[in-house]
Structure 1
Amino acid sequence: ETATEPPGGLGADTNTMYNSSQPLRSSQEESSTSGVPLSGEHAEADKFEKFERWLRENGADYSMLELREYVTKEGVGSNLSENDEGEEKKEAGMKDSNNVSSDCQSKNDESSEMRGVHSRVNIPPNTVCVSIPRKCLITVEMGQATPIGQSILNSDLDLDAPKHIFLMVYLLWDRKVNGDKSFFKPYYDILPKTLSNMPIFWSDDELAYLEGSYLLAQIADRNDAITDDYQAICEIAPELADIATLDEFKWARMCVCSRNFGLQVDGHRTSALVPYSDMLNHYRPRETKWTFDDESQCFTITTLQTIPAGAQVYDSYGQKCNHRFLLNYGFAVEDNREIDGFCPNEVPLELGVMPDDPLFDAKQEFWTRGDGPQTSGGVGGGVAALAAAVTAASASRHQHLDPNAVVSSALEAATAAAVGRNKQLHSNTSTRNCSLSGNISDDSIPPVKRVRVCVSNNENTRILFSMLRVLACNDIELRAISSSPASSINDGTCPSYVSRALLGLSASNMGTALASSSGVFYRTCRDIRHPLGLRNERAAMEHLMETVGRALAMYPTTLTQDVIDLEDEMSYPRFSNKRHAKIQVRGEKEVLHHYAQWARTSLDVMDVI
């Protein structure tokens, strides 16, 4: 998954996540999360003391804070962090099961603990509690300056997460080439040796805990994307294979994904690994904000409220669905709600016109209206050609030329593009079509549309109901929605048939369009925002029930069973992969049950009407 970077500047918080609804967290922390200072004879003390000494000697200031570790009953530890270009981040500790951390150590690692950052003293609001000088940051530009980075820059590789790649390249290259002489060696030494909490490293047995979840496909996609990137870079920079295996490349990807910050440095957007700052665990609502201060040339973290002495100091990874937390940070938030009760957990629902629908051809045309592959400019190739034709037609009037003749070649090109586009869409969606229609993979199946929904009346919810109404249409309703004008876009220079072509009408309907006397805007399957009638709305809700039922049938357990299982901390230990997987699938089912209840309630109301 590629996520947007958090904005640089004060209060940048796009990648934070909330996992709890209590705003006054310090009073609710459990004694188990008070932690033990990383000092004295403690197992990991030596390397952390060297790490902190390295930071102080190079100008870092975090004198009001200290690192602590938490040893769980299960001996399983972790530390949080995220952000991929995919997500950008920081590190986290825990607070209840709602706080988590992704700086995780292997279950077999000698130091199975979670770590976090705590305050030594009472820290007032608006206090800079962490200041890390620029020289201690690893930036995208440093990775670009390496031999491998230069090879990537001079190539035309289409990488999954380019900014992450350059951070990974520097991390791997510097550790291998400079070794013990590296300036960043004290930082490298405290990075987790393994990341067994990250789903891309889970065993088959652990992945089985996610049976039925769409997250399984995302995990496979992430593994494939990382493998493709590794192989592609090795093709143009063979030396990558000498400094890192594929497994090491994956480790670097997830370290960067879970730790990098999106920054604005001297007016330039970049991403960076920020030692110490990436060790703050996640909590919502946020209690701190971070930025790069151009004046002091330091990365700073500032408190937003009073933090009592001894309390853990948190970062917020942003408001996110648990699947992003789990995929990118290796944890799921037990109660993933904002203080207003909103839960961002979501589920993708797949919809498409069934091959046995008697109105298949007509629905398919409307269903795919406006679809098309995106160019770098965000416009489909056929539409782009027609857009140029509109401009040409307008100009031709001033040159006393026949605009129809000027546009005709563009129409032919657009039609050809549409044919190629449909073939590509059929190819790209064959797997998803199988999930929608059993084992059917016939080319006649139109593209499946996927919409992510959560328990909220937001834009995606409105799109879902719009598409359901289209699929539920009878002949009269379909003709009404596919030909009813909404608003004119004809400015006197654009022939109506070009307007219709721009909006995705097929070439077979061009004759009718050519006869039209005015250009109008025709709606797509995403735009039916109000019920078309009782019959259609009832059929749409029944279709929703069937769609939700198919999704729920994919899981081996019920929502009720999941709730019971999560009460059993012996079988589902806190911070374990097994528990995080259970939290993820429970959250998906909660969303699905919400829409099932919505559909049932709607049908009951319509029965009364």
Structure 2
Amino acid sequence: GTARNTSVNFAGMSGRNKRKKHTRKNKPKKDNLVDSTLKKRGNEAFGHQEYEKAVDFYTQALEQHPPPEDPHTIYSNRSACYVQLRNYLLADSDAKKCIELQSSWPKGYYRQGIALERLLKYDEALESYQKGVDIQSDDPILQKALSSLSKMMDEMKSTQKQMSEVKNPEKDKFDIMIDWLLKGGSRFPKLHLQYYSEDFRGVHALTKIPNVEVILYVPLSHIMTSDVAKASEVGKKIIDSGVELRSKHSYLASYLLQEKHNPNSFWKPYIEILPKDYRNMPIFFDDEEREYLKGSFSLAKIEDRIQSLRREYENICRLVPDFRRFTHEEFIWARLVVITRIFGLVIDGTKTDGLVPMADMLNHKRPRETKWTFSDSENGFIITTLKGMQGGDEVYDSYGRKCNSRFFVNYGFSLDENEDNEVVLQTEIPLSDPHFQMKARFLGIDDESIDYHREFQIPMTYKEKKTKECFTFLRFAHARDRELLLFSTSPLSGDDDYKTNNKHDDQKLDEREPLSIKNELLVLRSLRDSANDVLDGFDTTLEEDLRILADGVYPMYSNVRNAIVMRRGEKQVLHYYIDLYERCARLFEIPWKDLKREAAKCYNSTKPDDIYITNVVVPLVKKCR
């Protein structure tokens, strides 16, 4: 209380002593002290890398009335904060304000150059640096920025010239699309679209690109979204008809066809560079090429895709008669364009998807080297690097973790190394099971006169949900007496990834950990036997496939080679389940001390069989000791 009173009295005395000398013109000195303090606090926050807090202090300083004595320096500092926060539009805006207030101060041009570089506007950034150097030619920071950017732009031109020497029969179309994108506000100055073949293109870096740098920007105006498709003439007809589409991709596919037939379409430069056909897609394989897939579950998926596309086309034509102006073959082409190029987007908080020109030219690679998102603040799609790259390097996207069957059927390629490969295995509860009727009622099986089958598509990794569902079902299938009381069920949903031979089956088993060593051995034996049955359906062995691929008989990315890689991946997973039984059968029999010693080597391993041993075998043996 005393301190507060002393302070007030002191301020009052000071005011009375100086009141007569104080004019209105001198009065703002107190406010300037406040501005100075806020700026200082902003500088301190910036020094501690607390950029958002620094922005708040600088903003408060700029909002003081009357305005601060040196607002251009505060705008400069806030611009630097926005660069650190990767909000380059605001960084550029503040730099422009700084220059507007003090055009003879070189640092403002430096700030603007940095922001423009981050916005991929290199020509404008170079011009800004040059203006700064013209004002103060001996400024080392500006000189370095100007020199570095000039050198990089020269390198980009040289690399682009070299890459452009590769024969490209579609060069004119490429140039037209890129020009269309650039005029529309897209930016990707460090990237070059490379032609390999009619079915294969890629994107390369023109110069060194550091980690965490934006390398591509495409505005919303040049993204063909599902919302645009639904609002189009053909989209409205589909919606008004009430047709139930099997896939939401059909909206974009239909719009793509409408625009392809429109010679004055806004999207023509983009549509012109799309593949004319998709001969690399398995749905177009001829009989000879399909023969290489004999035994593979991908054949069933290919046939499912063919039938699904035909039903979708006929369904739309039935309720939207003038849709027949597009042929069935054209519809398939459009759907393939969409499935191979679509990006999932969140725009203003709403989930949607769309085709993003240039971004859709990046090929797949894992682990991912770039990330992408839609930026609401910049109203566009951006790609950012996740690792440094050298000039000439191919720039990749990641299509996510997928089994080769999905890459193969949906995109037309197979990965040589793919730890997410899967196989389809058949499981059953035979009529001869003494508890068949009890199990049938438990699962809601309506026909108790035939063996009950469930088909599972599973990877090697035990921790995956679909793998645990398969193991749970087999534990139930081999359960006896009181073991059955340990299970519970839930209704099946559309997300459940397995098939049954029972039309009215609507129950799935809730996940269940191992019951006993005997039960788990029966589970592993069932998986081994099912894997052997699948292997018997192939014409070649795993060893033969490995030898064919090693000999390089078929060209990279050719249809036949992709088919062999596809079936080879399945066989590797099948052999895994055969070997898993052999290894675990031995481990279940050895003394506890020896098991602990062997398991100790598995705990830091990422190998699927080691994970199963540490998560299932060891805890089960310990429990049953």
Q: Tell me the TM-score normalised to structure 2 length.
A: 0.63
CA RMSD of aligned residues (A): 2.6
Aligned with residue 196 of structure 1, among 279, 285, 288 = 279
What per-residue deviation string (whole Å, max 9, x for no partner) do you get for residues 7-56 of structure 1? xxx9xxxxxxxxxxxxxxxxxxxxxxx99634797422111111111111
* Residue 147 of structure 1, CA deviation: 3.0
Q: Is the 8 A contact 1:122 1:309 kept in 2?
A: yes
**CA separation of 1:484 and 1:52: change in aligned 2, threshold 3 A:** closer
CA contact (8 A) 2:483 2:515 kept: no
Correspondence for 2:425 among 341, 345, 349: 349
Alpha-carbon offset, residue 574 of structure 1 = 0.8
In the TM superposition, 1:583-602 aligns within 5 A as 583-602=565-584
SS at match of 2:321: coil
Instruction: Give the corresponding residue for 2:561.
Output: 579
**Aligned residue number for residue 455 of structure 1:** 460
Distance 1:147 1:355, change over 3 A: farther
Distance change in 2, residues 1:531/1:467 (3 Å): same
Q: 1:189 to 1:606 in 2, by over 3 A?
A: same
Task: Give me the whole-angstrom Cα distance separating, in 2, the residues matched to 1:64 and 1:464.
Answer: 48
1:483 to 472, 482, 485: 485
Q: What is the distance in 2 between the residues matched to 1:525 and 1:312?
A: 46
Alpha-carbon distance in structure 1 between the residues aligned to 2:563 and 2:456: 22
Aligned residue in 2 for 1:96: none
Structure 2 residue corresponding to 1:258, chosen from 340, 343, 346: 340
Structure 1 residue 144 and structure 2 residue 244: aligned? no
Q: Does 1:322 align with 2:435?
A: no
Matching residue's letter, 1:209: Y
Counterparts in 2 of 1:69-108, with a 5 A limit?
A: 69-70=195-196, 77=197, 105=199
Residue-by-residue CA offset, 1:466-507 (whole Å, 9 max, x unaligned): 32233234xxx2x31233589xxxxxxxxxxxxx9x889xxx
Once the two structures are aligned, what percentage of the paired residues are identical? 36
- Between the aligned partners of 1:356 and 1:153, the Cα distance in structure 2 is 52
Q: Which residue of 1 aligns with 2:514?
A: 530
Partner SS for 1:264: strand
- Distance change in 2, residues 1:466/1:292 (3 Å): closer
Q: Secondary structure at the match of 1:190?
A: coil
- Give 2:163's aligned amino acid: P
Q: 3-state SS of the aligned residue for 1:361?
A: helix
Q: Is 1:37 the equivalent of 2:163?
A: yes
Shift of 1:608: 5.3
CA distance in 1, matches of 2:168, 2:424: 46
How far 1:592 sits from its partner (Å)? 0.9
Gaps of 5+ in 1: 1-9, 11-33, 71-76, 78-103, 106-113, 337-342, 370-421, 427-442, 487-499, 505-522
Is 1:543 equivalent to 2:619 in the alignment?
no
SS at match of 1:271: strand
Q: Decide whether the 8 Å contact of 2:514 with 2:520 is kept in 1.
A: no
Task: Please say if residues 207 and 392 of structure 2, whose CA atoms lie closer than 8 Å, have aligned partners that are also in contact.
Answer: yes
Rounded to whole Å, the distance in 2 between the matches of 1:546 and 1:274 is 47
Determine helix, strand or coil for the equivalent of 1:37: helix
**Equivalents in 2 of 1:226, 1:350: separation in Å?**
27
**CA spacing shift, 1:524–1:153, aligned 2, 3 Å:** closer
Residue pair 2:252, 2:338 contacting (<8 A) in 1 also? yes
Relative to structure 1, the CA distance from residue 568 to residue 485 in structure 2 (aligned partners, 3 Å threshold; closer, same or farther) is: closer
Which runs of structure 2 are paired with 1:350-499 in the superposition (5 Å)? 350-366=426-442, 368=443, 444-445=449-450, 447-458=452-463, 459-473=465-479, 477=480, 479-484=481-486
| 1:309-365 Cα deviation digits (max 9, x unpaired) | 1211111111111111111111011112xxxxxx11111222121234444322322
Query: In structure 2, what is the equivalent of residue 133 of structure 1?
Result: 219
| Cα distance change, pair 485–331 in 1 and its aligned pair in 2 (3 A) | closer
Deviations along 1:356-412, whole A, 9 cap, x unmatched? 44443223223x15xxxxxxxxxxxxxxxxxxxxxxxxxxxxxxxxxxxxxxxxxxx
Structure-2 change in CA distance of 1:348 and 1:35 (3 Å)? farther
Shift, 1:572, TM fit: 2.0
* TM-score calculated relative to the size of structure 1: 0.64
Structure 2 residue runs without a partner (length 5+): 1-85, 87-159, 493-506, 592-625
2:148 corresponds to: none
Q: Give the Cα–Cα distance (whole angstroms) in 2 for the partners of residues 593 and 117 of structure 1.
A: 37
Structure number with greater CO (CA < 8 Å, separation at least 6) is 1
**What pairs with 1:80-229 in structure 2 (closer than 5 Å)?**
105=199, 114-162=200-248, 164-176=249-261, 178-179=262-263, 181-229=264-312
Q: Deviations for 1:145-174, whole angstroms, at most 9, x for unmatched residues?
A: 233312322344332211x11110110011
2: distance between equivalents of 1:527 and 1:292?
37
What secondary structure sits across from 1:67 in the alignment? Answer: strand
| 8 Å contact from structure 1 (residues 349, 452) kept in 2 | yes
Distance 1:135 1:346 in 2: 40
Measure the CA separation in 1 of the matches of 2:275 and 2:188: 22
**CA 1:238–1:530 in structure 2 vs 1: closer, same or farther (change >3 Å)?**
same
Letter in 2 for 1:48: F
Moved more, 200-209 or 577-586: 200-209
Q: Name the structure with the higher helix share.
A: 2
Q: Which residue matches 1:46?
A: 172
How far residue 444 of structure 1 moved from its aligned partner, in angstroms, is 2.8
What letter matches 1:306 in structure 2? G
1:461 partner amino acid:
T
Structure 1 residues 44 and 351: CA distance shift in structure 2, 3 A: same
Letter in 2 for 1:301: I
Is the Cα contact below 8 Å between 1:364 and 1:446 reproduced in 2? no
Indicate conservation of the 8 Å contact 1:35/1:69, yes or no: no
The DSSP-based 3-state class of the residue aligned with 2:568 is helix
- After superposition, what is the alpha-carbon deviation per residue over 1:58-102, rounded to whole angstroms, capped at 9, x for unaligned? 1111111111223xxxxxx4xxxxxxxxxxxxxxxxxxxxxxxxx
- The 8 Å contact of residues 127 and 302 in structure 1, kept in 2 or not, is answered as yes
Quick one: structure 1 residues 447 and 222, their matched pair in 2 at CA, closer, same or farther if it must change by over 3 Å?
farther
Which amino acid in the other structure matches residue 230 of structure 2?
Answer: Q
Q: 1:66 aligns with which of 170, 189, 192?
A: 192
SS at match of 1:448: strand
Which among 330, 335, 352 is matched to residue 248 of structure 1? 330
Rounded to whole Å, the distance in 2 between the matches of 1:191 and 1:287 is: 24
From the superposition, tell whether residues 211 and 358 of structure 1 become closer, same or farther in structure 2 (CA, over 3 Å): same
Distance, in Å, in 2 between the alignment partners of 1:356 and 1:484 is 22
Q: 1:134 to 1:573 in 2, by over 3 A?
A: same
Query: Residues 41, 587 of structure 1: CA spacing in aligned structure 2 closer, same or farther, 3 A cutoff?
Result: closer
Residues 580 and 524 (structure 1), Cα distance of their counterparts in 2 relative to 1, 3 Å cut: closer
SS in 2 for 1:453: strand
Corresponding letter in the other structure for 1:130: L
Which structure is larger by alpha-carbon Rg, 1 or 2? 2
Q: Distance in 1 between matches of 2:188 and 2:524?
A: 56
Tell me the SS of whatever aligns to 1:549. Answer: helix
Q: Which amino acid aligns with 2:539?
A: P
Q: Indicate how the Cα distance of structure 1 residues 255 and 549 shifts in structure 2: closer, same or farther if over 3 A, else same.
A: same
Distance 2:430 2:491 in 1: 23
CA distance in 1, matches of 2:365, 2:376: 27
